[in-house]
Amino acid sequence: MYFQRHIFFCLNVRDDGRACCAEHGAEAAFDHCKSAVKAAGLAGPGQVRVNRAGCLDRCDEGPVCVVYPEGVWYTYVDQADIDEIVERHLRAGEVVERLRLPDSDTPR
């Protein structure tokens, strides 16, 4: 694989008043994650790529990001949450259960 992991941040903006990740600081979280990945030496081929995404269709649970290839969905509140995802999941491969969103087929 060209990258070991990708993390996609929903940065969707909705102008119609419906919930969206952008209204929860998603752009700042994306920027922080990109910087944290670089600072940790995890950026580049064979490692981690931090990507922007449009709507990921989980707006009511936002803000959200998803890590592939595992397909693990996260929500987050602040930079400390992003740092934990970077260190535990992107670096060590450990899912951060306290931030994990349920799979779409899991009853809530």
Listed in sequence order, the residues at least 6 apart from 41 whose beta carbon sits closer than 8 Å to its beta carbon are none
Listed in sequence order, the residues at least 6 apart from 87 whose beta carbon sits closer than 8 Å to its beta carbon are 40
Q: Give pLDDT, residue 27.
A: 96
**Averaged over 62-86, what is the pLDDT?**
97
**Averaged over 7-36, what is the pLDDT?**
93
Kind of pairing, strands 72-75 and 64-68?
Answer: antiparallel
pLDDT surpassing 80 at residue 108: no
Among 10-14, 59-63, 71-75, the range scoring the smallest mean pLDDT is 59-63
**Averaged over 24-46, what is the pLDDT?**
97
Q: Give all domains of the chain, ordered by start, each with its CATH number.
A: 5-93 (3.40.30.10)
Locus of tokens 């709507």: 55
pLDDT surpassing 70 at residue 12: yes
Phi, psi of 9, rounded to the nearest 5 degrees: -105, 125
Count the neighbouring beta carbons within 10 Å of the beta carbon of residue 34: 19
Q: Give pLDDT, residue 92.
A: 97
Task: Look up the pTM and report it.
Answer: 0.92
d(CA 18, CA 108): 21
pLDDT higher for 106 or 12? Answer: 12
pLDDT surpassing 60 at residue 68: yes
* Mean pLDDT for all residues in the chain: 93
Peptide bond into 63 cis (omega under 30): yes
